[in-house]
Structure 1
Amino acid sequence: MKSRNKQIIVVGDRILLRPDTGGKKSAGGLYLPPSVTEKQEVRGGIVVEVGPGIPLGNPEDDPEPWSQQETAPRYIPLQAEVGDYALYLNKVAVPISVEGIDYVIVPQNAILVLIRDELELNQ
């Protein structure tokens, strides 16, 4: 993800989310400030950037490890896509701020559910 002056590169099986802020109303009509929603165990946010995935080892056992054969790394892709809405476990989220915008970084296994606007059906 590129911002004005910086580029954020997400590595491994991590996902960069822009969390929902407070300002929600409770069922009784009370306004919930951000300090209340930050303490919840499960929070939601929009997927901004996705890492390449879980790295796979090289299945070939090279008998000559000093040889110059370079292979590109391979990854198991992640399920999340940019633009998805994700519910995640707040206790494993790492908050960061880039140019005044708050984000959280979560591993894929902290994502509970993904909500995607459009679903492509293969028929």
Structure 2
Amino acid sequence: MAAVSLVSVSTVKPLGDRVFIKVNAAEEKTAGGLYLPDNAQEKPQVGEVVAVGDGKYKDDGNRVAMDVKVGDKVLYSKYAGTDIKLGTDEYILLSEKDILAVVS
């Protein structure tokens, strides 16, 4: 995971069809109430969109609008994107095609 100390969330502007997502915290307990050690916790696949790019260009030069917007809760592919840590919070930068659904 890339740890960045000179950058804040407000200064990150994804390019093209990329999306910057704040990752939800991993589950620390099982449904039965047992606590999981760090190495047994699964990587979360749900997060909140913090920033979006302008969209990618089509072959004719027009830009394709993004399907997600800031504030949307999304479900994304398990091994997609680049993990980034800003301070104590974890984020992921990924392409819009790696977003599977908007969660309401």
Query: Smaller-chain TM-score range?
Result: 0.7 to 0.9
Residues 29 and 83 (structure 1), Cα distance of their counterparts in 2 relative to 1, 3 Å cut: same
Where does structure 2 lack aligned partners over 5 or more consecutive residues? 1-6
Structure 2 match to 1:56: 58
DSSP 3-state at the match of 2:11:
coil
Alignment deviations for residues 42-73 of structure 1 (CA, whole Å, 9 cap, x no partner): x11111001111213446xxxxxxxxxxxxxx
Normalising by structure 2, we get a TM-score of 0.75
Instruction: Name the residue aligned to 1:91.
Output: 79
Identity %, equivalent residues: 28
Q: Unaligned regions of 5+ residues in structure 1, if any? A: 60-73, 117-123
| Equivalent residues, number | 97
Rg (Cα) greater in structure: 1
**For the aligned residues, what is the CA RMSD?**
2.5
1:7 matched residue in structure 2: 11
Structure number with the bigger relative contact order (C-alpha 8 A, sep ≥ 6) is: 2
TM, length-normalised to structure 1: 0.65
Q: Displacement of 1:86 after TM fit?
A: 0.7
* Deviation, structure 1 residue 93: 1.9
